[in-house]
Every structure is written in structure tokens, then in C-alpha cells.
Amino acid sequence: MSASKRDELVQRALKTFYQGGFHAIGMDKLAKETGVSKTAIYKHFRTKEELILATLRLRDEQFRNWLMRRVSELAKEPKERLLAIFDALGEWFLESDFKSCMFIKASSEYQDRSSAIHATSAEHKRLLLQYFTDLAREAGAKDPDRLACELLIAKEGAIVLAHLFTPENLARDAKRTAERIIEAEFATE
């Protein structure tokens, strides 16, 4: 299998795992859904977990690139970008194939913190936290680390609730929460 075929397999596997979960999708179903034989899959990935890690790395790259690009398109000033995060989330929540966060799912299915899958999921969230911290610092926040952490909590909560409930108003409500957090951070004493 060539590198491009391998990449295509990872793309298809990402979609399959995102839609169906990790433990629920066995190798037989994965082969059927991706159109790649189990033998061919195992030529590139010794284990299912290795394939899951490849899909998580791809999803991390895709999601963070999309979020950063979209936030930059929605707002020019760093402080406005902090709120635009929630506008971008609202767009994602309304996509027809929205099935929550792949990293939340992965870490809940692989709960052992020493698991590479759990660690990769945590790294995704850490990288998002760093992005939020950078935005908060650029905006002149008094405590950019704390502000970023509070906004990440609001974002993650919105994702979970958008999956559990009807997502139409969740991004708006999360944005209102973020506005209060940001106002408190920039309030003069």
C-alpha cells in the first residue's frame, strides 16, 4: 500500500471511528467501511490502536487548523477572536455529521492515562489550551493562563452538551458565558 493509500485509509478510518466509536468498530467492520482488507490494514498498522492513533493525529491537525483559520476569518482583534471561538463552534455543531469531539470519545473509551490514545487526546486539548492562552496574551489579559483555561472549560462543556441535547443554542449560550468570563478578566479594578 502506497503512502497515498495509507493516508486514504487513515481518512476513511477517521470517519468510521468518529461516527461509530473505537471499541464498537471492530477490524472486520473497519475493513468493510474503509474498503481496505484487514491484511492491507495490518501491513501499515500492527494494531488497531496504532491506526486509532494515526486517525487522532490527523483529526488534531484538521480540527486545530480549521478552528484557527475560522477564528481568524471571523474576527481580526485578539480579544474578538476569543469570542469567535464560540461562533466557529456553533458552525461545527450544526454540521450534519457532528458527533461530538473525537478526543473526548477516545479518552472515555481509553481511560487509562498511560494509554497512548488517552495521552494523544489530552495533548490535543493541551494544544487548544495553548492556542487560547496565546490569544488571551495577545489580547492583553491580566492572567492569560487562567482566562484560557476558563474558556477551554466553556468550550468543552458546550461540545458535550451539543452532543447530548439539541445543539442550536448551545454555542450562543457558551459564547454568553465566555463574554462574562472575558469581561471579568478585562474589568478595571
Quick: pLDDT tens for 87-122. Answer: 999 999 999 999 999 999 999 999 999 999 999 999
Percent of the chain with pLDDT over 90: 93
Average pLDDT, the chain: 95
Please, which pLDDT band fits residue 163 given cuts at 50, 70 and 90?
Answer: very high
The residue length of the chain stands at 189
Contact, 13 vs 30, CB < 8 A? yes
Torsion of CA 136, 139, 141, 145, to 10 degrees: 10
Cβ contacts of residue 64 below 8 Å, gap of 6+?
124, 127, 128, 131
Place of cell 472575558: 182
How many angstroms separate the Cα of 173 from the Cα of each of 68, 90, 129, 178? 21, 10, 20, 9
Pick from 3-7, 49-53, 94-98: least confident: 3-7
Whole-prediction pTM = 0.93
The amino acid at residue 79 is K
Q: 126: which 3 cell numbers?
A: 493541551
Q: What is the pLDDT of residue 2?
A: 61
Whether 189 has a pLDDT exceeding 70, the answer reads no
pLDDT at 107: 97
Give all domains of the chain, ordered by start, each with its CATH number: 3-186 (1.10.357.10)
- CA-closest candidate to residue 62, choices 6, 29, 35, 101: 101
